Amino acid sequence: MENSAERECLELSHDGASVSVQTTLTFLLLAGALCTGLDFLVHKLPKERRLPISAVLFVSGAFVGTIVLDLIETETIPAIESHTSLGSKTILSGLRNAPFMDPHALFYILIPPLLFESSSTMSWHVLKKVLASSYLLAWPGVIVNTLTTGALVRWIVRLNGAAPSWEVSFLLAAVLSATDPVAVVATLRDIGAPAKLSTLIDGESLVNDGSGVVIMYLFQDMVMGSNAPEAAKNCPTTPLDMGCVIVYFIRIALGGTIIGIIGAYLLLLWIHISRSLHKSELETTLILVILYSTFFFAEGLGTSGVLATVTLGIFSAYFDLDRRLSREGRHSHHPILGQIAYICNLCTFFTSGLIAVRFMGQPHSCEHNFYSPQAWGEAAAMFAALHFSRALMVLIFSPVLRSLGYGLSVKEGLVLIFSGLRGAVALVMGMIIMSNEYIAAEIKQLLAFHISATVALTLLINGTLVGKLYSWLQVYPTSMYSGMYLKTFFQTLESDCRARGVYALSRHWFFQDVNFDTLMCCVPNFEYATFSAHFRSASPRGIHSVVDVMNSVSDFATANEWKSTLGVPSKQLWRSNFEGYWSQNHQACSTTFQDVLAGQPEILEQTDFMENVSCNQQLELVFEGGGGWYLSAQSMHHICKDKDVSFSMTCLYQANSNIILGLRADRQWPQTTLAVPGMLGQLTCDRSSVVIDCRAGTVYAEGQPRVNIGAAPEGAVLNVRLVTQEDSVTHVKFSWHTPDLQQNVNSDSIIAFGPHLLKHVFPVVQFVTTPPEEAEASEPQGGADATPTTARNRSKSVSGHMNQKALASVVPGFVPHLLADSERINGFFQRLFNILQAKYLHMFEKGLIGSQAYACLLEAVNNAMDSANHEINSMGVGRTATLQRSNSFACRCPPGTGAQDLELMDILEPLFIEFLYLEKELSKSSLLEKVAERFPVMKMFAYSRAMAKVEILWGFTEAHEDILQNQMFLVRFLPAVDCIQRLVETAKSDLSLLMGAMPHRVFMSKHGLALRILLYRRLQMLERAVASGKITSTEADGFANALQARVVRAGNFRPTRPWIPRWVPLFRRRALDSAEAWSAFKLPTN
């Protein structure tokens, strides 16, 4: 039984049974939200003033813990809980129970993702070389460290005026032997330290977490002594038997390692089976399931869950888990696991602060508490003793460490000694000891205080100073070549960025009046860089902030008194002229539509005429018997657009068939439908045709035989060349050749035909079945050099090209028109709008357009896609009369309501829907815009809407112009191309309208957009250099982070004081000086 003096040192009273799963999860949720906010605030600070996030979270957790413990002691929280709802009680219960959380909850929830993420993401090439050193420091090193630290604890620490027992001293030393250098590793990576050093430190920490727990449990059994039953001990013998200790070590070390290896093989097998499904969610879930199952299973079998999880991560790195995953899994599992580890890391350090305060915040009657000078003196001495014992451990094993892997220099050894931070694992072990009822309260309080004090001191001192120590020691020699190479590379990159950035942008039609000399003052110049130690990274210097530069642009616009160009004062513009102009703009859109109708009448709603002829997947015209006809719906004007006025066909026929092909003139086709079988008649007798009989080689024109050029053999390619004059055909020339060019007949005879307009001349083919005796009599000879071929051999050769039922087939030199344009254009619109969506998403993700502009552009494309898919309630522009009315949107009528056949307007309607929706949104004025027009001082609040309108029109024009220049599929639909070009011109005129309507806001929006484009193009070229291996990501991080941050700031900028009277002293701004990095820059005048 504990006496009254011991009860005074017990922790604050608390009912441990009330710490439910619900309150634990509630606390973790609150901790996650608070930690995220703190991380955001820390990263808002300048990098040189930024403290390690682990130290900030630890201090914040300690502050919150102090408040919570004070509220518990004064019974404030219970009083509040009695007057609140159930949801509020759950939150308050989570706060009240936070310092008294079950240590196993932290151990089982937060630790496994941290261990796996850290071990599995290491480079195996580096890890395999430092793994032996890590295990040497983590097992023999921890034992040496524990023994040395235990002796120093007995010499430094006092318990009731006397030295603690050896068992208590070694127990405290075992707990403090587990290192947690998260802050150190993060700092070393930030300053560009080589992976070998950070991997050695991190690898040692991962393994010694398991070894430290094993040694802690052994000495805990020794401290409990005979007071505890055998079932509560890991080695039940008292005193400890060495055989039991050895068996326990083997069971923990080998058992955890074997379970981790089994888990790794199960993970690889499971991923190998599931990767063919290409489901990234499934693969990531499998990793999480195996991760937690390995930890829980190892702990349930009495082995080390820490060692099992670390082994699982190491073997995942060995098997290269990324390579085993599917392409989708490789891109998703790292962000997901990284996010989980990030949250667990934040919550761990925050909770560590809470627990540390609980351990140290004991009553004043206790010997070791937060207010005891003696306790803090012991803690300071312990802090020095831990570094001494760690230095001794590194010195003892240094001969071996120098011969393993990469070796270990003296300076690396000093960084290794200083990186021995203590963190969450030590605090969790302290909580396990505090929950042990067989250890005296005063011993638990001594252990708890020194564990908490050591964690706090190492986090706040070592965690914040390790970067300065690394830079001061200059661990690795400076490479002059690296410095020279980086300087030369950045100079070359700067030249390329200027050529493709500011020089090209200054010639853009929209940005020609932008003041680039001022904008460049906040753009990072690659030639003006500040290099870190050893040239590990480079960051920009000599430039101004985005806010200062944009404010200078705003002052310039205000000083020049930008006014409306529409002939009315700016304050009356919205009420008098703005809405009228938009109504006229809709009229202009209707005029554009009429121009498209008049300029491109050839829309093919009729398909190719085929009778007893089919078209297979290889686009061959196949004839299977009887009489067959084919008449193309595409005129020669369409087929020969932008190329020679000619076409070719490859003829394949058997012995009892013949092919007659050529041209047919018809003024009515394809407007009329050839519905009567045999309407074409015999082409050799048709007075509107010029054809060639392939088997006989005779050319017929206007129903009369004209010339014989020789029979075309099987597989010959017939060429039909037209002689034209002013878009009319006057003569036709036929020729043929074999595919191997061994036979070539090029007749000099030119057959008169016409004159006929090219748009009235169409390719035509007739298939004829001939009797066998007639086929033998008309067997093609192919000239003197032709090789005789029997009908049987020809049939065998044809069977390789056609099926057994086909008698003949023709491979046209153009694509048959099997679908009407109204049907074919749906696929065209699907491709067009998919490309537009991708381009708008790219602009949004790169910060070129804001969320308002992106949402509007995306909605316009979605409405256009609904129209292209003929959705029943999709938007429609109606007929021409409807187009002439402003905001003319109607619902598409359901099928079967008497709608006329599709015309050109219906085919191009989705294009108009997209643009008209944008104009409708642009014509709207928000409440703030209306207020801004009445009260100029409020214009600053309407800037966002004006900027969004500029981004909408600019994004529309840029995306569509890029498609017109780079997408070849547009050539098939020339009316659509012409329509897009005219809509782009209309969008450009709308930008001019906006400039006249709200000159200051559009002027500022244009400069902000130009600045974002300049920054993005530099960032894009820098990323390409990293992707190509010219520089490393670490070397580019300084400039990349600066460019990304400035893109965001340029997009978030809002003019703050442009409309305040300039005579008010408070709002006067100092003139912006020329930036050092751009002092010699001058934009070329040409």
The 10s digit of each residue's pLDDT in 424-473 is: 888 888 888 888 888 888 898 899 899 989 999 998 899 888 888 988 88
- State residue 897's pLDDT score: 33
Whole-angstrom distance, CA of residue 433 vs CA of residue 684:
106
**pLDDT tens digit string along 140-165?**
999 999 999 999 999 999 988 899 99
> Rounded mean pLDDT of 800-814?
64
- State residue 1018's pLDDT score: 95
Whole-angstrom distance, CA of residue 517 vs CA of residue 494:
16
Residue 933 DSSP SS3: helix
Instruction: Pick 363 or 490 by higher pLDDT.
Output: 490
Residue 175 DSSP SS3: helix
Residue 763 DSSP SS3: strand
Assign 802 a pLDDT band (cuts: 50, 70, 90).
Answer: very low
Q: What are phi and psi of 689, to 5 degrees?
A: -130, 155
First to last CA, the chain: 95
Share of the chain above pLDDT 70, in %: 75
- State residue 798's pLDDT score: 37
Return the structure tokens found at 621. 């015209």
- State residue 884's pLDDT score: 35
Instruction: Pick 561 or 409 by higher pLDDT.
Output: 409
Question: Which amino acid, 275?
Answer: R
- State residue 289's pLDDT score: 93
Whole-angstrom distance, CA of residue 1060 vs CA of residue 827:
54
CB 464 within 8 A of CB 497: no
Return the structure tokens found at 948. 């969004």
Residue 717 belongs to what H/E stretch? strand 717-724
Other CB atoms within 10 A of residue 192 CB: 19
Which are the contacts of 982, defined by CB distance < 8 A and separation ≥ 6? 592, 595, 596
- State residue 645's pLDDT score: 65
Asked which of 194-203, 350-359, 646-655, 740-749 is least confident by mean pLDDT, the reply is: 740-749
Q: What are phi and psi of 787, to 5 degrees?
A: -90, 125
Bridge partners (DSSP) of residue 724 are 729
Bridge partners (DSSP) of residue 110 are none
CB 667 within 8 A of CB 724: no
Distance (Å) of CA 693 to CA 65, 697, 746: 99, 5, 16
Instruction: Pick 967 or 753 by higher pLDDT.
Output: 753
Mean of all residue pLDDT scores within the chain:
78
Q: How many residues does the structure list for the chain?
A: 1086
Bond prior to 399 in cis (omega within 30° of 0) = no
Residue 655 DSSP SS3: coil
Other CB atoms within 10 A of residue 1080 CB: 8
The runs of H, that is alpha helices, within 543-663 are 546-559, 570-573, 579-599, 636-639
Is the torsion defined by CA of 47, 49, 54, 59 positive or negative? Answer: negative
Bridge partners (DSSP) of residue 756 are 729
- State residue 149's pLDDT score: 95
Q: What are phi and psi of 113, to 5 degrees?
A: -60, -35
Answer whether residue 793 shows pLDDT above 70: no
Whole-angstrom distance, CA of residue 305 vs CA of residue 106:
13
Is the torsion defined by CA of 572, 573, 574, 578 positive or negative? Answer: positive
Question: What is the helix, strand, coil percentage profile of the chain, to 5?
Answer: 60, 10, 30
Answer whether residue 169 shows pLDDT above 90: yes
- State residue 567's pLDDT score: 40
Assign 82 a pLDDT band (cuts: 50, 70, 90).
Answer: low
Answer whether residue 824 shows pLDDT above 70: no
- State residue 688's pLDDT score: 84
Assign 309 a pLDDT band (cuts: 50, 70, 90).
Answer: very high
CB 810 within 8 A of CB 801: no
Assign 580 a pLDDT band (cuts: 50, 70, 90).
Answer: low
User: Between 124-138 and 305-318, two packed helices, what is the crossing angle to 10 degrees?
Assistant: 150
- State residue 519's pLDDT score: 93
**pLDDT tens digit string along 374-422?**
999 999 999 999 999 999 999 999 999 999 989 999 999 999 999 988 8
CA nearest to 541, candidates 481, 490, 611: 490
> Rounded mean pLDDT of 369-373?
84
CA nearest to 756, candidates 663, 683, 674, 670: 663
> Rounded mean pLDDT of 646-653?
74
Residue 425 DSSP SS3: helix
Give the up-direction half-sphere exposure of residue 963: CA atoms within 13 A in the CB hemisphere. 27
Q: What are phi and psi of 481, to 5 degrees?
A: -65, -40
> Rounded mean pLDDT of 188-211?
84
CB 839 within 8 A of CB 962: yes
Q: Each residue of 498-511: b (16+ CB within 10 Å) or e? A: beebbeebbeeebb
CA nearest to 545, candidates 187, 1069, 1086: 1069
Asked which of 362-371, 375-384, 671-680 is least confident by mean pLDDT, the reply is: 671-680
Whole-angstrom distance, CA of residue 413 vs CA of residue 133:
12
Distance (Å) of CA 188 to CA 123, 181, 252, 439, 1020: 16, 10, 32, 40, 27
Whole-angstrom distance, CA of residue 407 vs CA of residue 194:
13
| Helix and strand element counts for the chain (H, E) | 41, 19
CB 608 within 8 A of CB 631: yes
CA nearest to 597, candidates 933, 243, 879, 246: 879
- State residue 258's pLDDT score: 93
Whole-angstrom distance, CA of residue 1040 vs CA of residue 1033:
9
**What is the DSSP annotation of 266-335?**
HHHHHHHHHGGG--HHHHHHHHHHHHHHHHHHHHHTTS-HHHHHHHHHHHHHHTTHHHHS-HHHHHHHHH
Asked which of 232-246, 250-264, 677-691, 824-838 is least confident by mean pLDDT, the reply is: 677-691
- State residue 575's pLDDT score: 39
Whole-angstrom distance, CA of residue 781 vs CA of residue 787:
8
Question: Which amino acid, 301?
Answer: L
- State residue 6's pLDDT score: 46
Whole-angstrom distance, CA of residue 937 vs CA of residue 914:
35
Whole-angstrom distance, CA of residue 693 vs CA of residue 780:
11
Whole-angstrom distance, CA of residue 120 vs CA of residue 321:
8
Answer whether residue 598 shows pLDDT above 50: no
Answer whether residue 668 shows pLDDT above 60: yes
Asked which of 19-28, 392-401, 634-643 is least confident by mean pLDDT, the reply is: 19-28
Residue 728 DSSP SS3: strand
Which are the contacts of 811, defined by CB distance < 8 A and separation ≥ 6? 618, 619, 620, 621, 649, 650, 652
- State residue 972's pLDDT score: 63
Other CB atoms within 10 A of residue 995 CB: 20
> Rounded mean pLDDT of 525-543?
85
- State residue 48's pLDDT score: 72
